[in-house]
Structure 1
Amino acid sequence: MSGYFDRFVAESRRRQTLVVQPRMGMGNLHTMQAGLRAVAALGLPAVGTITIDSYTRVGDYTTSLERLAAGEELNGYPLVSHPAGATRAMLEGLHGPGFPVQVRHGTARPLRVFEKLVEVGLDATEGGPVSYCLPYSRLPLADAVDAWAESCRFLAGATEHGHIESFGGCLLGQLCPPSLLVAMAVLEGCFFRRHGVRHLSLSYAQGTLAVQDRGALRALRALAAEHLADTTWHVVLYTYMGLFPRTPNGATALIRDSAQLARDAGCERMIVKTVSEAWQIPSVSENLSALRLSAADSGIRTAPSALEDSFFEETLEEARLLVEAVLDLDDDVGTALIEAFRKGLLDIPYCLHPDNRAAATCVIDDRGALAWGERGGLPLPRAAERAGGDRLGSDELYEMLNHVADRYDTNKYESGLV
């Protein structure tokens, strides 16, 4: 297969340019093609995206075409349902060395999606056995692990350069301490490698405090270097995944800050959000504007501070403890992940999946950083449980969920003083 995706990112890294990427998917072949063509025509170091629709995500491959036939719009592209020849024709003249395309899907059972993306000539996708099960599905984790193991083996066998981006660094990332995000990204990378995939990317979702994020991204690189040395990998930053600012200036400032974070931390790729995230599915033109904004390089880099170094050391120590505790459970990474959640050695705050204990909690501390409230059974030192105290009430949780949006929607940002 092509390997366009990895080569494109590697060349951009050599040039020290950030690759930007939208989260874009339309159901109709012509509108999907037009969207990809518009991104390719920007002349930016950009990757195209085909995001799958919600019917396909739950294994329904007929309703999407029925809705399209009825003249309705979808929230993504029904890759499995459209004939392979039609998708190949849609991609013709677009997908190539100068404009690779990644499939983003959100399903806990990805084999049909993987089979179809290979059939149409693509080789890059994303997700993970944990990160596309616990937040998005009620499927038992053991079933998701089996499904992802089979899917990874298929991708590795059917392609020479099959690439998977772990979504582990985005697990409810708006209220999850960075060490757990870093650990999950690395553990899913180990899972992919175990099942034959050698081309990876590791995600991290922008949090509540830039200096903490910079330290966490350094920790992600350090831990990945320890555990994934025999693979090709890069780091991708997601603009904040929680509740987005409601004002145009606030949203613009957050997008601009996320791009600055990506550059400060040396991220190779960035998943971009738009000013309309708070109220609608973004249009193509809004995606293009966000890509231009994110690709604009200020030329200013923030030098590491003592506080950043402290966050780096803290995150690396905690993430290493989590990764090692899981890998010590079983030689098979998938079995280890299942057992870790059963024992509470992995526990995602505020995740309601039946296989997640939800005994660990996260708070935003007086620095504005994401911190552990209660550790539950996580194998972390007692000092990690800085906040302690009783369980949060609904008012406190609501305030934390709105923390970033409210901060960016202040008069400072609304007046354009960003």
Structure 2
Amino acid sequence: MSGHLDRFVAAARSRGDLVVQPRMGFGTVDRMRAGLRSVAGLGIPVVGTITVDSYTRVGDHVSPFERLRAGEELNGYPIVTHPPERTRDMLDGLYGPSFPIQVRHGTAQPQKVIESLVRAGLDTTEGGPVSYCLPYSRLPLTHAVDAWAEGCRFLANEAEYGHLESFGGCLLGQLCPPSLLVALTVLEGRFFLQHGVRYVSLSYAQGTHGDQDRGALRALREMARSYLGDATWHVVLYTYMGLFPRKAAGAIDLIGDSARLARDTGCERLIVKTVSEAWQIPSVTENMRALRLATAVPTTPADTSPELADAFFAEVLEEARCIVDAVLDLDPDVGKALVRAFESGILDIPFCLHRDNRGEATCLLDDRGALVWGSTGKLPLPGRLRQGEAAPLRSDALFRMLNHVADRYDNGSGERRAMSRSREELHDRRF
């Protein structure tokens, strides 16, 4: 039986439940199964994760075998190296309608990963031709587009309910104004649909300002309704992807605020980070604690301004529409349109060093802590936003931007800091 993720998410949505998911991967079959079994046994609406190792991400399928044979650890599961039948055995008795599993990989050329997961009986993964190329790879964008088109077609042809999650809403999310993230995840969703994938999810990374995030997530849903036709889709929120608080209380607050943001905005799924994110790769136990914490956050409302969230919604929606329409006007083939858009600067990711990115657009934190445009480069934004070249961003200002969220939560000024002691007590008492 295929299509577990979409059915599971739809059932949870009908009950009003938020689905949570860790980021977790181990090199050996036994350790990976033990991790999945622990997550499956939590008794909450949860999706399992198989995160691949760093060798597999760059197309090296020999080194994982050598490292494992030498008794060394890997930082993920080498799904291409392990034979499909071994992965099937690992999943036996775990994977099913009550416990969907997604493969997460970070690969600019995903064909072998997608083929391996399908051969193992899975049908759900994530990434995209832009979001898994420009920040993570030196591969030319044209090659990534071709590779992802091939991977999409394989998934669509070989898995009846093949599902792809665009990572576009997380692409350097801590340094991108939300309209670009919304536009990129919608464009990747269109790309998946063009190549036959009918089940998609759209990502968004929790940013620097709660009301801005609320407006952006509302805009993302509106964009999906407008641009994804009759596809089956849902929205995935990621707990903040940038530098994480160094204090446990601050990290607990940030995780809690991400869960509240997901619930307030109707997100169907939340990718959860852990309290130890700032200093180590999280253990299974730490992932389980974070998942429980995200589902146990009190339902009291966050400290928000509906009027400000409405204003951000209108702003993000207008900018994202301008970007998506301009890209889609370049070519009826979405992949070719994406390549042409980056060549011309219609798409331009701030602070991304890939050679196919012009790097003329920049962003800043305003005095509210919201992400705004510095230089807009050649982005097709509304006239009021067109700007000339801004002054270069000084290294100390960039450092403050990168640390803004971590410092704010460590210093006790998260959205619901007043509740932090009770949350920390809840964390200690339950876990």
The reply on whether 1:194 has 2:203 as its aligned counterpart is no
- Looking at structure 2, the residues matched to 22 and 219 of structure 1 have their Cα atoms a distance apart, in angstroms, of 26
SS in 2 for 1:347: coil
The reply on whether 1:46 has 2:46 as its aligned counterpart is yes
The reply on whether 1:296 has 2:300 as its aligned counterpart is no
The reply on whether 1:307 has 2:312 as its aligned counterpart is no
Give the CA deviation at 1:299: 2.4
User: Which residue of the partner structure matches residue 154 of structure 1?
Assistant: 154
User: Which residue of the partner structure matches residue 426 of structure 2?
Assistant: none
Change (3 A) 1:350 1:412: closer
- Looking at structure 2, the residues matched to 82 and 335 of structure 1 have their Cα atoms a distance apart, in angstroms, of 34
User: Which residue of the partner structure matches residue 12 of structure 2?
Assistant: 12
- Looking at structure 2, the residues matched to 79 and 228 of structure 1 have their Cα atoms a distance apart, in angstroms, of 30
SS in 1 for 2:234: strand
Give the CA deviation at 1:323: 0.2
Give the CA deviation at 1:386: 8.0
SS in 2 for 1:368: coil
Give the CA deviation at 1:383: 2.6
The reply on whether 1:394 has 2:395 as its aligned counterpart is yes
Give the CA deviation at 1:359: 0.3
User: Which amino acid in 2 is paired with 1:209?
Assistant: H
SS in 1 for 2:379: coil
Per-residue CA deviations over 1:142-191 (Å, capped at 9, x if unaligned) read 00000000110010000110000000000100010000000001000000
TM-score by length of 2: 0.95
Per-residue CA deviations over 1:79-118 (Å, capped at 9, x if unaligned) read 0000111111110000000001000010000000010100
Change (3 A) 1:224 1:342: same
The reply on whether 1:124 has 2:110 as its aligned counterpart is no
- Looking at structure 1, the residues matched to 197 and 301 of structure 2 have their Cα atoms a distance apart, in angstroms, of 34
User: Which residue of the partner structure matches residue 342 of structure 2?
Assistant: 341
User: Which amino acid in 1 is paired with 2:243?
Assistant: L
- Looking at structure 2, the residues matched to 223 and 301 of structure 1 have their Cα atoms a distance apart, in angstroms, of 26
User: Which residue of the partner structure matches residue 75 of structure 1?
Assistant: 75
- Looking at structure 2, the residues matched to 7 and 298 of structure 1 have their Cα atoms a distance apart, in angstroms, of 27
Change (3 A) 1:114 1:144: same
User: Which amino acid in 1 is paired with 2:400?
Assistant: E
User: Which amino acid in 2 is paired with 1:158?
Assistant: E
User: Which residue of the partner structure matches residue 364 of structure 1?
Assistant: 365
User: Which amino acid in 2 is paired with 1:29?
Assistant: V
SS in 2 for 1:218: helix
Q: Is the 8 A contact 1:263 1:301 kept in 2?
A: no
Q: Is the 8 A contact 2:376 2:387 kept in 1?
A: no
Which deviates more, 235-244 or 1-10? 1-10
- Looking at structure 2, the residues matched to 301 and 97 of structure 1 have their Cα atoms a distance apart, in angstroms, of 32
Change (3 A) 1:408 1:395: same
Give the CA deviation at 1:304: 6.6
- Looking at structure 2, the residues matched to 158 and 203 of structure 1 have their Cα atoms a distance apart, in angstroms, of 24
User: Which residue of the partner structure matches residue 332 of structure 1?
Assistant: 333
- Looking at structure 2, the residues matched to 389 and 378 of structure 1 have their Cα atoms a distance apart, in angstroms, of 14
Give the CA deviation at 1:230: 1.1
SS in 2 for 1:49: strand
User: Which amino acid in 2 is paired with 1:282?
Assistant: P
Q: Give unmatched runs, 5+ long, in structure 2.
A: 424-431
- Looking at structure 1, the residues matched to 35 and 306 of structure 2 have their Cα atoms a distance apart, in angstroms, of 41
| Percent of paired sites with the same residue | 67
Give the CA deviation at 1:411: 4.9
The number of residues matched between the two structures is: 418
User: Which residue of the partner structure matches residue 403 of structure 1?
Assistant: 404
Aligned-residue RMSD, C-alpha:
1.5
Q: Is the 8 A contact 2:164 2:197 kept in 1?
A: yes
- Looking at structure 1, the residues matched to 274 and 161 of structure 2 have their Cα atoms a distance apart, in angstroms, of 31
- Looking at structure 2, the residues matched to 305 and 372 of structure 1 have their Cα atoms a distance apart, in angstroms, of 23
User: Which amino acid in 2 is paired with 1:272?
Assistant: V
Per-residue CA deviations over 1:15-69 (Å, capped at 9, x if unaligned) read 1100000000000111100000000000010000000000000000010111111
Per-residue CA deviations over 1:282-328 (Å, capped at 9, x if unaligned) read 00000000000111142234587111100000000000000000000
- Looking at structure 1, the residues matched to 13 and 307 of structure 2 have their Cα atoms a distance apart, in angstroms, of 27
Give the CA deviation at 1:260: 0.5
Q: Is the 8 A contact 1:49 1:102 kept in 2?
A: yes
- Looking at structure 2, the residues matched to 385 and 392 of structure 1 have their Cα atoms a distance apart, in angstroms, of 18
Spell out the pairing of 1:86-165 with structure 2 (5 A cutoff): 86-165=86-165
- Looking at structure 2, the residues matched to 299 and 404 of structure 1 have their Cα atoms a distance apart, in angstroms, of 23
Spell out the pairing of 1:210-225 with structure 2 (5 A cutoff): 210-225=210-225
Give the CA deviation at 1:279: 1.1
User: Which amino acid in 2 is paired with 1:274?
Assistant: T
User: Which amino acid in 1 is paired with 2:151?
Assistant: S
SS in 2 for 1:402: helix
User: Which amino acid in 1 is paired with 2:357?
Assistant: N
Give the CA deviation at 1:407: 0.5
Q: Is the 8 A contact 1:126 1:166 kept in 2?
A: yes
- Looking at structure 1, the residues matched to 241 and 299 of structure 2 have their Cα atoms a distance apart, in angstroms, of 25
- Looking at structure 1, the residues matched to 246 and 28 of structure 2 have their Cα atoms a distance apart, in angstroms, of 29
Give the CA deviation at 1:389: 3.8
SS in 2 for 1:106: coil
Give the CA deviation at 1:384: 2.7
